[in-house]
Chain A
Amino acid sequence: MMAQPHEAMPAGTGPRAGATLRLDAISKRFGSVTAVNRVSLEIPAGSFVSLLGPSGSGKTTTLNMIAGFLRPDEGELYFDGRPVANVAPNKRDIGMVFQSYALFPHMTVYDNVAFPLRARGGLDGAAIDRRVREQLEMVRLADFGERFPKQLSGGQRQRVAMARAVVARPSVLLLDEPLGALDKNLRDQLQGEIKKIHRSVGSTFVYVTHDQSEALNLSDLVVVMREGRIEQASDPRTIYQAPETPFVAEFMGGANLLPATVASCSAAVLVLDLHMGGRVLAPASGSKPAEGEEVSLLVRPEDVLIAEKPPADPEVMSLSCSVLDVAYFGDTIRLSLDASGTILTARVPARGSAGLSAGQQVLFCWRQGSARVLRRRRYKP
């Protein structure tokens, strides 16, 4: 089904493997709003990159500049080292899946998928026909060629949009929240298909989403955006386990972030005054904060231990709190805790935690070394 992805390539449509993409300090302003603010990013050929961020963080604007719909006010874009600012969208060798799919309503599924091949030229009718049928087969829509988009379900439309975007084997594929309009089950299923298509076509995929699990699941590189800037660009594991800023940690979800002031930073271990009360130790990893600096302490729910008596080990930090809610997840349970007004989350093994119930007073503990100190990102004005 997904065989010979690289041999049936149409001639004259540029290089077949994915392109390297380089964004060099690109900015875009709309009136007084700076939608994208000096974004620099290097995307390796053939990789899968996610742009992740809250609404209005500039993801679509970035994508539209890569597509050539918008021209950066500043900075330059390079495809395989070539600047493309003056290259029209149709000359950039890209494919795109729009959030609303943007299927041509007056064309059949077949004609929609054939469109990029016909528009790019260089193939005769028989070759186009073969490519379109192959592609429809690949997205399991072989029998739907004669239908109009209006006659398809949401998931089917999504697959037509996908087929149209990759049929010409573009070197770059842009996807703007391609699964945003679908329900959860369908999203999970189509994520797998998108991944499969990425492997078989070999294009560089740039994927916009505001669903962090989608980004973590699909990508080689996750780019977290905030207010038009890149907050962090790392592989999924690093983004999740070692977020660089409180914003990233919060956006990836689930983590406990305790605001604190640095009391002392002379030794290898930092001393923090938690805003909620209490003094704790924390490891000094990465760039060292200054004394008096406002930071956030990140404690992952899975690193939390629940105890009834204060621990003897000086390496274990603890906060007293009351249990708000207990939720069972088979092998683990998730606790919501209230530590003098701050809501904390813990995920502990179900075995041995049977006695926990709402209202109980417990200690929220973690090993000093498992926490991370996150500094706020400071931008040059």
Chain B
Amino acid sequence: MTSVGETDRTGFSDADPGPKARAGLQRREHFATALLILPVLVVTIVFFVLPLSMMMVESFKKDGAFSLAQYHEFFTSPIYYWVILTTFTLSLITTVGTLIIGYPVAYYLATTRSRLRNALLLLVVIPYWLDYIVRSYSWMILLGRNGIISRALQDAKLTDGPVTLLYNTFSVSVGMIQIMLPLMILTLYAAMLRIDQELVLAARVHGAGVWRSFAKVFLPLSLPGIYAAALLVFIISLGFYVTPALLGGPGQAMISQSIDVIASRLLDFPLASAAAMVLLAISLLVVIVYNRTFGWDRAWTSPGI
């Protein structure tokens, strides 16, 4: 340390900035980091934390005093019980459906050396740019009474009159799966790109056939990707609004629609707030339980013991 002080005095300070200068540099870096984070922080607080807090306060208020009345009403009413169950069921169907369809597509995209890859990627992404409403309407055209499928069935004399495939669990599931599919594929694809293809070759050369090397090496290595993609799709599906509204009947009402009804028709903002808080709590709970259950892969994805 004394030598550093000496060089400072003799004027050769740019060789080693010295402990004081170094501390200053660190402080300046911290300041720069803080400055860079600031806009995000402001946006998060103004558009996220504040409204959420206000909603939370609202949900616990009745006639100006603290109360659990809204939550009591929400949890004792059979309607909302069904709504939550429907929300879960539809989200689960969507997650499983997109996974089953999306996994092979993502696998092909991640492993092919064909020039078709970029074209296919584009095909996957394009629908993602279209609005939910537009995509949901297009399913109405396909599945409705005068829709293409109904007409085709009539032309083929398979049915007597027009049929509607709309306003049931099937139509909502189809719509939601189609909307969430790009997200599922892209998330899986990104995860699969990180899998070292040489590992599959290593499996092959050491005696594993095509199927075995997939099942024992590629599939387990893609599990973290599956978990991430499934969680993402499930959580987003929980908050779906437009698609079940357009393609579903009363039986397919999801929690977001209920919140809308409570708020804009019944004008019961405290109850709507409580319902929103329940949706939030459910989402958080799903994330926590999910991470607990599927966190074991960290044993081999993190360095060290």
Contacts and interface: CB of A to CB of B under 8 A. Distances in A.
Contact of A119 (B198, B212, B297, B301): B212
A165 to B, nearest CB: 8
A128 to B, nearest CB: 12
Contacts of B42: none
A120 B207 contact: yes
Contacts, number: 79
Interface residues of A, number: 29
B205 interface: yes
B305 A151 contact: yes
B225 to A, nearest CB: 13
A94 interface: yes
Contact of B300 (A90, A116, A148): A148
A317 B217 CA distance: 64
Contacts of B199: 102, 104-105
B121 interface: no
Contacts of A75: none
Given A106-B297, A150-B300, A150-B303, A69 B201 contact: yes
B78 interface: no
A114 to B, nearest CB: 10
B303 to A, nearest CB: 5
Contact of B196 (A90, A102, A116, A165): A102
Contacts of B212: 119
A116 B206 CA distance: 5
Looking at B202, B208, B217, B301, the one whose CB has the most chain A CB atoms below 10 A away is B202
A67 B209 CA distance: 14
Contact of B299 (A67, A98, A148, A174): A148
A103 B202 CA distance: 8
B201 A119 contact: no
B302 A102 contact: no
A246 interface: no
A102 B299 contact: no
B39 interface: no
Given A119-B203, A148-B299, A165-B206, 7 more contacts: A68-B204, A69-B205, A89-B205, A98-B198, A102-B199, A102-B201, A150-B303
Interface of B: 196, 198-199, 201-209, 212-213, 216-217, 220-221, 297, 299-305
